[in-house]
Structure 1
Amino acid sequence: MQKRIIDILKIMHWLGLTMLLTAVGIYFLSDWPQQIAGMVLVASLSGLGMVLMSPFPIALFLQWAKAQDSSK
Structure 2
Amino acid sequence: MQKRIIDTLKMMHWLGLAMLLTAIGIYFLSDWSQQLAGMVLVASLAGLGMVLMSPFPIALFLEWARAQNPSE
Q: TM-score, normalised by structure 2?
A: 0.97
Aligned: 1:27 with 2:27: yes
RMSD: 1.3
In the TM superposition, residue 70 of structure 1 has moved relative to its aligned partner by: 2.8
Instruction: Note the residue ranges of structure 1 that are not aligned, 5 or more in a row.
Output: none
For 1:38 and 1:5, the matched residues in 2 are separated by: 34
Partner of 2:59: 59
- State the 1:37 CA deviation: 0.1
Query: Take 1:20 and 1:71, find their aligned partners in 2: how far apart are those partners?
Result: 40
Give the AA of the match of 1:28. Answer: F
How many residue pairs are counted as aligned between the two chains? 72
Aligned to 1:25, the other structure's residue is in SS state helix
The residue type paired with residue 2 of structure 2 is: Q
Unaligned runs of 5+ in 2: none
- Percent identity reads 83
TM-score normalised by structure 1 residue count: 0.97
